[in-house]
Amino acid sequence: MYIDKKNIKMDFINELTTMYSEDIDEASNLHKYFALAKLVKKYSSQNWMRTNRKYKNTKKKQVYYFSMEFLIGRLLGNNLLNLGIKDTCKEALSELGISLNELEEIENDAGLGNGGLGRLAACFLDSMASLNIPGHGCGIRYYYGLFQQKIINGYQVEIPDHWLRDGNMWETRKEDKAVRIKFGGNVHSIMENNSLKFIHENYEEILAVPYDTPVIGYNTDTVNTLRLWNAETLDDDFDFATFNKGQYSKALEYKNSIESISQVLYPDDSKEEGKLLRLKQQYFLVSAGLQSIVRYYKKINVPINELNKYIAVQINDTHPSMAVAELMRILIDEENMTWDESFKITTNIMSYTNHTILSEALEKWPINMFKKLLPRIYMIIEEINRRFCEEIQNKYPNDTKKLNDMSIIFNGEIKMAHLAIVGSHSVNGVAKLHTELLKNKELKNFNEFYSGKFNNKTNGITHRRWLVKANPRLTEILCKTIGNQWIKNPLELEKFTNYAKDLNIQNKIREVKEKNKIDFCNYAKKIYDIDINPYSIFDVQVKRLHAYKRQLLNAFNILNLYYKLKENPSLDIIPRTFFFGGKAAPGYYLAKQIIKFINTVAVKINNDKDAIHGKLNVIFLPNYSVSLAEKIIPCADVSEQISTATKEASGTGNMKFMMNGSITIATLDGANIEIKEAVGDENIIIFGMNKEEVLSLEENKNYKANNYYYSDSRLMKIINSLVDNSLNVSSSEFKDIYSSLLEKNDEYFVLKDFDSYTKAQDKIDNLYRNKNKWQKMCIMNIGKSGIFSSDNTIKKYAKEIWHV
């Protein structure tokens, strides 16, 4: 479709008039944003329709990405970019006296995810559409996204994220495509035509209503669909009998209890809650998703016993792993297929992505809770397990240990990862190291049992959002230097490495970063009323707050620098601003204490202007989100990726920074290892224990945190300051942090890696002094970042797992 400035101006004014009966002078920015969003959706609607029609007619295999989280962020800027009309639109609006930037800032982030896992799902949607792969998202339309974080007196305060309050122009409610979900009740069997039939009775039935959002590919006609499900009462079930007896509020209570299923996203990252409502959410998602898929294929006359030729379902972590059992239920109970045939088709369709080996994140459900809520699904899981255990016993007779270790149901619990592995034809890790640990350690028995099922797909990020959209200045330099083919084929960014030693390009890269930093300083002044020195090194750690990510290690190095400066105020260090950002799960007290600690250190240091001569600043950016990430990452000089080796499955923040020309200070963990392989040892700063050292300390149990405390006077001073009033807060304020390190023996080896980390930080200071060398490193990082585009990741999923 050809759209020029004139069209946009006319259409926009039209939209304002029809929607609000307002002209440009009268309309608020909110109304202008809504009018523009509606217009952009209109521009994509023909292609959306055509794409759907094409999929229906050609019956091409389609991929359904099942995920409890889609952290998509704002859509306006991205959609304009992918439609190829961003600049035109900007000019058109500007001629009407409207700033596109301002309108973009009005949009609420769709924060339907916690962190990396949900953001990965969003990047994958963008890549599938841009690569013309028929691939759709299937998730939950949470009424409240991840909470918004305020920092008050240094503490995290959680505010509900009422993102839908003013409406959402991108979604379309499809009430005619609703499906019914059954909870509770009981199951009995009868004989019918010589076969066993299962009858589910006395259940409670609720309605799942889909809301569809277009996923617009870049520079292509493909528009895929993100389908998010909303939980509602069945009209005929809304208890009017009760209502008539005058118990109106009781009837409403019932309605609320149903709607609560899609009310709120659980705010825990890398941790399992084990709550009944969460189990309901998971079944709600997989049942709604699979029922609507099966209904669609029946309608277009696809033989359901060949469904595996037409669809692939990717299970994003174990959260949607009940998809295995739900599809079995549909095929057996509703489509009257045999167990063996159903299981073959199901495993052919399903594939599972593992995201973590942290034990607290592995999902297990108590049998009693599960059975009561999902009696038929439980029966099916039991039968899958019975047959699986038989196979194990055949292969390893009398090996009870193996049997117990691998069984899906054990010790009163259902292990969802085991269900996902048994029910899928592919299990993938998300970075080389992570996959190796899965294959040779955590899931070794499964890897030996199912040879060839395990594979690696290193995570990626969409370079369209994280470079083209987030960093237009860098994009311009890249296009002027190596052309614009890299936007279609990100591997072509490699060409930029030829300019690593080009003084002119080095200079331009430095200018871009400086301008981005100045922009951010102005933004920070306006929004948070804080002053930041744009000429300092921007050292950034933004990600969820978690002990394994070791924000504490970063904070300890900062305190160490501060104490050094106090002792020697003329110490020659390059001025540095340390940025932190990240949310802690509301019930994760240690992580919340770490936030308070960082803010306490910030107050101490930022207010001590005499001692440190503006050389050190610490800033905690509240409410880390996709939109904030897009602002801060393009100004970062240093990217902090300092998790304990083996704990971060991949990381994707690391890739965003690299792509924007930051230098990574990193442990050999997750995808950091692959970044190092790509850029070479001289273009990344590595420190700390590697996987072998961590595993050996963990296995031999011979780590003694106290030894580091007593033998390193710097650590002793820092750790004492947690409890001795020197930071001007109560001595009990940080007692959980203190005890996690000394009494609980520092599970994540902060003390052990401290010395190595401080040396790495000194190295950064030194390198930054040599401008040419530093810029050369930045250019190498940008040029090598193409391999981490999610386009490459998705191509591998498509070829090796989905066969599309």
Ligand X SMILES: *Cc1c(COP(=O)(O)O)cnc(C)c1O
Question: Where does this chain bind ligand X (CB under 6 A)?
Answer: 115-116, 119, 543-544, 624-626, 629, 651-653, 656
Q: How far apart are CA 532 and CA 530, in angstroms?
A: 6
Output 496-504 pairs: Cβ under 8 A, ≥24 positions apart: 496/779, 496/782, 496/783, 497/779, 497/780, 497/783, 497/784, 498/783, 499/779, 499/783, 500/776, 500/779, 500/780, 500/783, 501/776, 503/772
Q: What's the residue count for the chain?
A: 804
Residue 556 in contact with residue 718, Cβ under 8 Å? yes
Q: How far is the CB of 640 from ligand X (least distance, A)?
A: 9
End-to-end CA separation in angstroms for the chain: 27
Query: Quick one: which of 239, 264, 40 has its CA closest to 146?
Result: 264
Nearest CB to ligand X, comparing residues 210 and 653: 653
Residue 428 in contact with residue 796, Cβ under 8 Å? no
Q: How far is the CB of 28 from ligand X (least distance, A)?
A: 28
Q: Name residues whose C-beta falls within 8 Å of residue 105's C-beta, 6 or more positions apart in sequence.
A: none
Enter the tokens of residue 574. 């390059």
Question: Does the active-site annotation cover 604?
Answer: no
Q: What does DSSP say about strands 186-192 and 155-161: parallel, antiparallel, or unpaired? A: unpaired
Q: How far is the CB of 47 from ligand X (least distance, A)?
A: 27
Nearest CB to ligand X, comparing residues 113 and 783: 113
**Residue 205 bridge partners (DSSP):** 182
Question: Does the active-site annotation cover 501?
Answer: no
Longest dimension (CA), the chain: 91
Q: How far apart are CA 571 and CA 561, in angstroms?
A: 10
Dihedral sign for Cα atoms in the order 74, 77, 81, 85:
positive
Nearest CB to ligand X, comparing residues 347 and 781: 781
Question: Does the active-site annotation cover 434?
Answer: no
Enter the tokens of residue 800. 């090796």
Dihedral sign for Cα atoms in the order 724, 726, 732, 738:
negative
Sheet holding 663-666, edge to edge: 616-621, 576-581, 537-542, 638-641, 663-666, 685-686
Question: Does the active-site annotation cover 355?
Answer: yes
Question: Does the active-site annotation cover 656?
Answer: yes
Q: What is the CA radius of gyration of the chain?
A: 27
Q: How far is the CB of 671 from ligand X (least distance, A)?
A: 9
Q: How far is the CB of 269 from ligand X (least distance, A)?
A: 8
| Burial state string for 111-137 with b = 16 or more CB within 10 A and e = fewer than 16 | bbbbbbbbbbbbbbbbbbbbbebbbbb
Nearest CB to ligand X, comparing residues 292 and 646: 646
| Active-site position among 74, 86, 355, 583 | 355
Q: How far is the CB of 548 from ligand X (least distance, A)?
A: 10
Q: How far is the CB of 302 from ligand X (least distance, A)?
A: 37
Q: How far apart are CA 223 and CA 45, in angstroms?
A: 8
Q: How far apart are CA 561 and CA 576, in angstroms?
A: 11
Q: How far is the CB of 122 from ligand X (least distance, A)?
A: 9
Percent of the chain that is helix, strand, coil (3-state, to 5): 55, 15, 30
| Active-site position among 86, 549, 576, 583 | 549
Three-class SS of residue 543? Answer: coil
Question: Does the active-site annotation cover 174?
Answer: no
| Burial state string for 658-678 with b = 16 or more CB within 10 A and e = fewer than 16 | bbbbbbbbbbbbbbbbbbbeb
Nearest CB to ligand X, comparing residues 116 and 460: 116
CA-based angle 446:123:800, to the nearest 5? 40
Q: What does DSSP say about strands 537-542 and 409-410: parallel, antiparallel, or unpaired? A: unpaired
| Active-site position among 227, 425, 464, 543 | 543
Nearest CB to ligand X, comparing residues 364 and 550: 550
| Active-site position among 31, 74, 119, 656 | 656
DSSP 457: -
Q: How far apart are CA 261 and CA 280, in angstroms?
A: 7
Q: How distant, in Å, are the alpha carbons of 75, 205, 530, 531 from that of 122? A: 11, 31, 32, 33
Q: How far is the CB of 73 from ligand X (least distance, A)?
A: 7
Q: How far is the CB of 544 from ligand X (least distance, A)?
A: 6
Q: How far is the CB of 114 from ligand X (least distance, A)?
A: 8
Q: Select the residue whose beta carbon is closest to ligand X and give its number.
A: 653
Nearest CB to ligand X, comparing residues 407 and 516: 516
Nearest CB to ligand X, comparing residues 578 and 624: 624
| Active-site position among 319, 544, 550, 596 | 544
**In whole angstroms, what separates CA 395 from the centre of its chain?**
39
Query: Quick one: which of 393, 569, 478, 555 has its CA closest to 785?
Result: 478
Nearest CB to ligand X, comparing residues 74 and 119: 119
Nearest CB to ligand X, comparing residues 72 and 231: 72
Nearest CB to ligand X, comparing residues 112 and 419: 112
Q: How far is the CB of 431 from ligand X (least distance, A)?
A: 11
Query: Quick one: which of 395, 454, 385, 383 has its CA closest to 425?
Result: 454
Whose structure tokens read 């296009």?
479
Nearest CB to ligand X, comparing residues 282 and 650: 650
Whose structure tokens read 């003694």?
704
What amino acid positions are annotated as catalytic residues?
355, 543-544, 549, 652, 656
